[in-house]
Amino acid sequence: MRRSLAGILIGLALLLCAAAPLRAQPSANHRPFLSGPIWVYNNWSSYDELSDDVPLTEAAAMHEFGQVLRLRRLGVHIDYYVMDAFWYDPDGGYRKWRSEGWPDGPEHWLGALEQNGVLPGLWFSTNSLAHLYPAPQWKNSLSKNGGAMALYTGGFLPDFMDVLQYWYNRGVRLFKFDFADLTAAAKGDETKFSPAEIREKNIVALRAALIDFRARNPDVVLVGFNGFGGDYDSTAGPLPFADPLDPRWFDVFDSVYAGDPRPSDVPEFDFWRSMDIYSDHAVRRFAANGIPLRRIDSTSFMVGDTGTNYHRRTGGWKGMLLLEMARGGWVNTLHGNLELLSDSDGRWFARAQKLYAPLQQAGSTTMFGGIPGAVQPYGFASERNDGALYAVVNPAQSIETVALPPRQREEDPHGPGRVLFRDSGFEPVVERDSIRLGPGQLALIGFGRYASAVYDLGVQADIRIPRSIAPVAARFVRGAARNTVEAVVLPPASGDLRIVMQQRDLDGHIMRSMSKTSMAHFFVIAATQGRKTLRLHLRYDHAVWSGLSWAVAEIHREDMAHKLPIRIRLSSADTDKMRLDEFVYNVIY
């Protein structure tokens, strides 16, 4: 029952975690091609033909372009509009737009973008056949299994570069390369060369071709996604990347992505906060492997109502946007249904974007604190001579005091910072050298010129943080059914009960499971008092294409009888035998 996006789509690598220095510095080894940050709208997740059945059509694409223009009128800065996967005719060799939903091809879309000063971008499955048949000129590059083309020999790569030039000549200025298979050998070569030799041949060939393409088209933006290295599956485990990203790609790509948004392996009552932690952790791991922060696109901003974004709509979107900017990447990607953002939301978006713009441009973002996936409080500091913004997250199920970087404490003459933004509930306490945060809480702090009410961004009402939390003693024992544990606890004198479970294999490693239906039917938390089944409040009840390793639920005080014992039962429907970790807390809002 355990799967992942990498396993589903292209068999990418293993676990995403390494021990890392507490304060990672941007590398100076790779010069950026960009002169500063850019903002990219990508329409994936406004449609979804992989984990959902929402099709890409001209009408849908143009509707989203109307939303791009609306947000720009409200002050939001957007430079590019990328048409994501499956725009092409399967028989057209990337030269022909698919006729279904696009009767006139891309003409209307390209014309509208040019008229309004937005640059177009296109998605390509680099050398894997994703909803695509091989063109005749590609067939002598095909692998034995017919699923991908070698890049180092045959007709595929020369023709592919002609395709890129064709679309560049039509006005396309950003090219997204996805699903690269650098292990692809032309049929017969799999016995002539070792896997390492084949990989090296593919890297050398594609890199040289893209360097030449850049030289001919210096204003082009190239972004690398799945297949170029890096681990995306999980935030569990102490291992470094099993598939490290080759630094030679930075002679080609403006940015590499850090993984599609998904829940981390850090249990949180708010599902969307766990997703924030995944992207924070992924960026940290890429940086720990030597990638400059400005070259990492966290791709974490997705609003929408499809399977890809777990039907998130706009849940926790403000914190999601602030963290995307706080991570310091120069390619800022926005995905999904922009119509879900109201005009008021758009004006807030513009304010936040303008707040971070000079700090992103300065390129001085650093990370501090612990490792997100290890449930250690952490943050991102973006500094200039006259002030700084610190985005700080506490992933723990406890109230924590987070130390702020010593450099800011030593140099800031303006006194303590100001909380500019926070989740609702717990009120952070900021001192000159630290901030106190509630369990699972995000806060943005301004120092220097930014410690002013003029920069206040308010409170995120839809993520609510307890004002207090304390462990509840609970002895869980194995139940009669497979992968089931049970315990009996007494109701707290005040407040609510929070119940947390996490799934591990028998060796103690965190393991994800997935279900085509709600994970609340897969990881089941149940509670009874006598013969009464207690009402549970939970937010992990989503179909999760990327898998999930945990569940969190709360029982509110008004739903519990006073002093009557509560029987808690936790279970996993995974067919493998698992170990369940369990925790109970008393939370007061």
pLDDT band at 240 (very low <50, low <70, confident <90, very high): low
Average pLDDT, the chain: 92
pLDDT at residue 27, rounded to an integer: 39
Q: Classify residue 481 by its DSSP letter.
A: S
pLDDT at residue 10, rounded to an integer: 30
Q: What is the pLDDT of residues 243-301, one digit of tens each?
A: 788 889 999 999 999 999 999 999 999 999 999 999 999 999 999 888 999 999 999 99
pLDDT > 90 fraction of the chain, expressed in percent and rounded: 86
- Which residues share a beta bridge with 366? 381
Q: What is the pLDDT of residues 320-341, one digit of tens each?
A: 999 999 999 999 999 999 999 9
Q: What is the pLDDT of residues 363-404, one digit of tens each?
A: 999 999 999 999 999 999 999 988 999 999 999 999 999 999
Closest CA to 303 of 319, 289, 288, 315: 315
Q: Is the pLDDT of residue 541 over 90?
A: yes
Q: What is the pLDDT of residues 549-563, one digit of tens each?
A: 999 999 999 999 999
pLDDT at residue 30, rounded to an integer: 53
Largest CA-CA distance found in the chain, in angstroms, rounded: 76
pLDDT band at 241 (very low <50, low <70, confident <90, very high): low
Q: What is the pLDDT of residues 126-172, one digit of tens each?
A: 999 999 999 999 999 999 999 999 999 999 999 999 999 999 999 99
Domain ranges of the chain: 38-361, 368-466, 470-588
Amino acid of residue 533 = T
pLDDT at residue 170, rounded to an integer: 98
Measure the CA–CA gap between 145 and 184, rounded to whole angstroms.
9
Q: Is the pLDDT of residue 29 over 70?
A: no
Q: Is the pLDDT of residue 28 over 70?
A: no
**3-state percent helix, strand, coil for the chain, nearest multiple of 5:** 25, 25, 45
DSSP string, 249-264: GGGT-SEEE-------
Measure the CA–CA gap between 424 and 408, rounded to whole angstroms.
27
Q: What is the dihedral of CA 318, 323, 329, 334, to 10 degrees?
A: -30
Q: What is the pLDDT of residues 439-477, one digit of tens each?
A: 999 999 999 999 999 999 999 999 999 999 999 999 999
Measure the CA–CA gap between 384 and 449, rounded to whole angstroms.
10
pLDDT at residue 516, rounded to an integer: 87
pLDDT band at 12 (very low <50, low <70, confident <90, very high): very low
| CATH code for the domain defined by 38-361 | 3.20.20.70
Angle between helices 271-288 and 317-326 (to 10 degrees): 10
Q: What is the pLDDT of residues 79-123, one digit of tens each?
A: 999 999 999 999 999 999 999 999 999 999 999 999 999 999 999
pLDDT > 70 fraction of the chain, expressed in percent and rounded: 92
370: Cβ contacts below 8 Å, ≥ 6 apart:
22, 376, 377, 378
Q: Is the pLDDT of residue 7 over 70?
A: no
Q: Is the pLDDT of residue 8 over 60?
A: no
Q: Is the pLDDT of residue 223 over 60?
A: yes
pLDDT band at 234 (very low <50, low <70, confident <90, very high): confident
Structural domain 368-466, CATH architecture: Sandwich (2.60)
End-to-end CA distance of the chain: 36
Q: Is the pLDDT of residue 15 over 60?
A: no
| CATH code for the domain defined by 470-588 | 2.60.120
Q: Is the pLDDT of residue 32 over 80?
A: no
Q: How many CA atoms lie within 13 A of 52 on its CB side?
A: 18
